[in-house]
Structure 1
């Protein structure tokens, strides 16, 4: 029977040499096999099998750990559909809420009206809060005022006033049982405790009309300051006569055209009517005419925002405003829209925007005088203010 030749591996030879040196009498394996060689061979084979098994086990463990970590850091992007019971309960809750709203509207119409006012008001107030935060953040990052929409700039101007009104009501109503007292009081006095988001159409007309009447009462005082500035002008000033004619027209309840107003623009770019060159009393009267801050620095900033609001309204199209937005824009620009047609309201806003487009940061004082030049002698404003306008 033929003998299979066996070639001793290098590692086995090394072990045999080591054993022969450390243990006297142990033969060194260079050729045939010996007993110690067989024992050493079996030991190495068993060790190798053990190492292979440990390596496989370690690899499987690492693989499972990687799968577990992967599943934790990257959860599946799908959600299992709700069960039939959960779907049934949610659908019935929604149907019950809708039915209960209809029931309140039929059975208790006044209670439902109050509920609807606060529901819509809170929703709009939260939306304006988010918009104000976005606009403020964009301004901090260097975004220009010319990049915002009319609504965004309007919220940026109005929201700080609204939050001072609404915050006390919302904070006190969070106390236990306080909402049963706070909300009825706020509903009875919306002008003092609620913002326009919570007002009805009738309340908006009444409150905005009262605020406009109060602003128009300051127009004769601002006009008096303008007459004083006219008397201080030199007789050879090229616009001295034009300003005199303008003052006489306003005194006799005549309206000014856009061309006549723009002819006076140089007077508001420098002496005598630049916003930095007029007295503090004059600045305060102009601020009250426009419902803007009284301090000169804040007045300039607010007037600049109002100027860019006019530009945004012109870009978006004045004719695209709905009736409520159109009435609000007229109140903000010193015109009482009650009793006049939509075309007249649009004409007033178009004239206002045309003048606003022609001015720049150096002639912002002209924009502050537009309530006197454009709206002071409007018939609806005379009806709203009565004797206060006749005193001009």
Structure 2
């Protein structure tokens, strides 16, 4: 399509001699001739010129890094992509919170994806805040690259991990959870004699023995002992300090806090997961993508890194089935189910 050109008015005049000797001016008036000298077209602003030059220089710099320093370029590109992903999520979270304020929507009534985004973003930003602050001054991002290289798992969040690192670090974090499984089972076994009902003691002992011997329990096995987790000694407000510390490590929370803070944090986090479960039941497990399925299972205690979509879906349905049947006072059972339901699931798939 031809651009609209400015029009100017021009006059071509010729002088001719008439028959009677008088000079006659013959004017040809040409209206609306295209004129390339029009001043209506705005010149490029200085800002746009600088921006385009900077963009070009950055592209050349990235090509140079990719060609000469491929390993460093991988770190550089991962950091830049992660930074923009984090900024995009920050905008989305800001929009969600603004809508919550304007419409008076409580956290519990949000859709599943928005609820999960708020939960995950809060945890991510707490971990990423020091690194983001360090990268603000000019050329300080090179220090961040050094940190990324030497301490990627400890200092960076998933946005700044390569796909290979994500898989590797998820396995490492889950192994850290598995390390405290024996301690949690010991705590459960020590609590069995303190239960008042004999039948409940037998069921608890049977459940612990079942899991310790490598058998994956059914939802009915867990639901049968739910009353043991509503009061002493396994209720949320009656848990032993060592048990709370071990459970905190399973949920990736710091165990180095006073007992009342450990109890409060465990209670708030498992309550948050229960709210997520309610929202997920409304949405439907089948609506989740494979990435969302794996993340949902991992948050609830299962190492889903190497599982198929169908295996994740089967396990998550079992979890939701249990979660939907428990009362608020029985939240401690859901917390312990992060171990009881996940400890032998991978082994049961191989049988």
Query: How many residues are aligned here?
Result: 300
Per residue, is there more helix in 1 or in 2? 1
Of residues 264, 267, 270, the one that matches 1:300 is: 267
The equivalent residue for 2:280 is: 313
Q: Which runs of 5 or more residues in structure 2 are unaligned?
A: 1-39, 256-261
Deviations 1:215-242 (A, max 9, x none): 11112111111111111223x4342222
1:334 to partner: Cα distance: 1.9
In the alignment, does 2:339 pair up with 1:378? no
1:246 to partner: Cα distance: 0.9
Deviations 1:156-187 (A, max 9, x none): 33334423432222222233332233324324
In the alignment, does 2:210 pair up with 1:249? yes
Of residues 91, 105, 125, the one that matches 2:86 is: 125
Deviations 1:7-31 (A, max 9, x none): xxxxxxxxxxxxxxxxxxxxxxxxx
The equivalent residue for 1:9 is: none
The equivalent residue for 1:348 is: 315
The equivalent residue for 2:166 is: 204
Trace 1:1-392 onto structure 2 (pairs within 5 A).
Answer: 83=41, 85-86=43-44, 93=52, 103=63, 107=67, 110=71, 112-133=73-94, 138=100, 143-234=105-196, 236-292=197-253, 294=255, 295-379=262-346
Q: Which runs of 5 or more residues in structure 1 are unaligned?
A: 1-81, 384-392
Contact 1:335 1:381 in 2 (8 A): no
Alignment RMSD: 3.4
Contact 1:223 1:372 in 2 (8 A): no
Contact 1:268 1:365 in 2 (8 A): yes
CA distance in structure 2 between the partners assigned to 1:299 and 1:139 by the alignment: 27
1:176 to 1:126, Cα distance in 2 relative to 1, 3 A: closer
The equivalent residue for 1:40 is: none
1:180 to 1:372, Cα distance in 2 relative to 1, 3 A: closer
Residue aligned with 2:198, SS: coil
CA distance in structure 2 between the partners assigned to 1:372 and 1:130 by the alignment: 35
Residue aligned with 1:273, SS: coil
CA distance in structure 1 between the partners assigned to 2:59 and 2:135 by the alignment: 27
1:93 to 1:152, Cα distance in 2 relative to 1, 3 A: same
Residue aligned with 1:375, SS: coil
The structure with the largest alpha-carbon Rg is: 1
Comparing 299-308 with 310-319, greater Cα deviation is found at 310-319
